[in-house]
Amino acid sequence: MNPNETNRLLTRLAQSEDPWVERKQSFDERDVRKTVVGFANSLGEGQTAVMFIGADNRGRHKGVTDADDVQKKIAGALQRCYPQITYQTCALTVEIEDKPLEILVILVPFSQNRPHFAGPAYVRRGSETIEASRAVFLELIASQNDQARRILQFKDKRCWLRLESKSGFWLDFECVVGSCDAHAVTLRDDESRLWSFPVPSIKVNKTPMRDLEIIATPPGTEEEFIREIVHRWARFRKPPAPGEHHLPSDWLVSQLLANPVLVLPTVATLADSSENLWLRLLHLHVRFALKKIERPTPRHQKIRRLEAGFHEMMKGHSPLSNSSVIAAAVHSTVEVATSLNEAEDFLRHLAKQHQGVSQVGYETLSNALLWELKL
């Protein structure tokens, strides 16, 4: 020890009262273990407690006769603490009645591994009683928490994880329960990705179809979560059948179409950077949903706008050409339609009302419409 450390210890030895100072006239295994465990469980961050062996509260110190031997005994006594406690021992020389004496010092710092116990925990494994490992010990502590206890019943088993964002978007998938203590639960999905959540922040449910369902807030931003759920949705869907351009409603489609303003930028970016037809269909339907919100219009008014738009685009085209008729029919349809079915219906309407459109043929018009919609 350097002189400053020695002086600090001598000062603490001489202090009359201090909750973090304990003096014992001689080594006693039970007292040492109990006191050190008490220090480790009670100290605040940055604090250090000290126990003096061979010291007296009234200053009538007797010291220890063999400091090395006492240090070995301390190591043996504290080895039985669980979890292990970090500590340091040293010999402090003091003079009593002009005679040098050695007092043994045990320094105990703040512990992040508490609670500590003055002995190991035991569990049963088959027909044997064994000491609990650190991981098992933490699980025992966690089992005092109702949510952690329910989760630990499914350790290494499958459960459902539901991620719910603040805006109401959600994603369900199966995971395996990895670890859980009083602070956090870690799950592993089928792609070997680990998901970790603070226990106080989650909800644990049991449903008729699911023995364990964990509901948690997704990590990251809302945009990142939307990208995650759209990626998973598109990745696990079978490719659409040839000529299939309609988007069946499902768990993701319904929630995205309910909030098109928020999801459109992310869906548009994903669709523009991918050849996946499902992403392009999703983008189209989100755009339609947004148009319904921004321009809610009855069908009869849409028909009037469709007719007006078609006639406006046909002005100046004489004689009529197929390309001009197709362009006018498709552009006027896209302008007013708020669904793919409605767009197809409007093309049929124009074909019935205008001879030039009917002469082009519906299949040609439909292909032009799909091209305009980037399908």
Please state the domain extents for the chain: 3-109, 123-216, 222-293, 299-372
pLDDT per residue over 83-92, tens digit each?
Answer: 889 999 999 9
pLDDT per residue over 336-345, tens digit each?
Answer: 999 999 999 9
Query: In the structure encoding, which two tokens stand for residue 87, read together?
Result: 């500590």
- Rounded to the nearest 10°, the torsion over CA 336, 340, 343, 344 is 180
φ and ψ at residue 56, rounded to 5 degrees: -125, 145
- Whether the per-residue pLDDT at 316 is higher than 80: the answer is no
Confidence tier at 257 by pLDDT (50, 70, 90): very high
Mean local confidence (pLDDT), 354-364: 89
Name every residue whose Cβ is closer than 8 Å to that of residue 51 and which is 6 or more positions away in sequence. 21, 22, 23, 24, 32, 35, 36, 39, 105, 106, 108
Place of tokens 């512990």: 111
**Class for domain 123-216, per CATH?**
mainly beta
Any idea which fold 3-109 has?
3.30.950
Which of 52-61, 155-164, 277-286 is predicted least confidently? 52-61
Residue 318 is predicted with a pLDDT of 66
Confidence tier at 17 by pLDDT (50, 70, 90): low
Q: Determine what percent of the chain is predicted with pLDDT higher than 70.
A: 98
Residue 1 is predicted with a pLDDT of 67
